[in-house]
Amino acid sequence: MAGSAFSSFDISASGMTAERLRMNVIAHNIANINTTRTEEGGPYKRREVIFEEVLADAQRELDGLIGDVGAGVRVVDVVRDTVTEGAKRYVPGHPDADEDGMVMMPNVDPVMEMLDMINASRGYEANVMAISAAKQMILKALDI
Amino acid sequence: MDKMFRPEALDLYEKMLDFAARRHKVIANNIANINTPGFQRSDLEFADELTRALRDRGVAGVKDLRLRLTKPNTTAVRNDGNNVNVDVEMASLAENAILYQIYAQLLARRFNQIRNILKEA
């Protein structure tokens, strides 16, 4: 499919998939903004997605094009953010409180998550625009 | 009469359509990687190369023109090492789509001319 007219759809779709997954992770972070218990113990740790560029295979030389041709993006990993410190809250009656009555809260920052959400949503829209431009072009080619 | 059917002009339009389709892929890839840390945008500037090939060697020069993918560093690099600017990409996207439609229109007109001549003959 590398030389096909429709392969630009795959490129944009990979971008949409990646941004959508990122959006899911952000939703997960926001949903767990007050979670003090997790399977691994301790408060919830915010997740971060890692994007990586995908390069097209050797097909490009045959296509009469020189250089590294990109083929989209992929999510290689979703990692826990263990560096950022969560806040401590004084709730002496809480079962997860320590002897001083402090409860460790998740390191999710709502402002940061909102910014990431806008970013992901704009990225998604940009990919949709690229698909509709490609659609226009292909439909125009049908007029020949 | 020979000139009217000269397949060279058709070759040229075909090549231009092909280049525009390729450039679209490059722009789509930039947009897909808008949030990839360290990604450097690439571009396929074919207008200048095409003009040069046409001027120097005519349509024959266009036929075996090999395009080079460039990594222009004209846009600002963000904190994450990515230099994709959504406005630049959207503008290139629109420009390229319109160019493609112009080439398609030119090709369609050429075919129409030939069709008309055949009808009149």
> Quick one: average pLDDT of A71-93?
91
Higher pLDDT among residues A65 and B104, named by residue = B104
Taking the CA atoms of B99, B101, B103 and B105 in sequence, report the sign of the dihedral they define: negative
Closest CA to B33 of B2, B71, B74: B71
pLDDT digits (tens, 9 = 90+) for A127-136: 999 999 999 9
**Least confident segment among B1-15, B25-39, B104-118:** B1-15
CB B72 within 8 A of CB B85: no
Across the interface, whether the CB atoms of B28 and A137 are under 8 A apart is answered no
In chain A, the residue whose alpha carbon lies closest to the alpha carbon of B63 is A64
Across the interface, whether the CB atoms of B35 and A136 are under 8 A apart is answered no
Q: Name the pTM for this structure.
A: 0.83
Across the interface, whether the CB atoms of A129 and B93 are under 8 A apart is answered yes
pLDDT digits (tens, 9 = 90+) for B20-30: 988 999 999 99
Q: How does DSSP assign B19-66, residue by residue?
A: HHHHHHHHHHHHHHTTT-TT----B---HHHHHHHHHHHHHHHHHT--
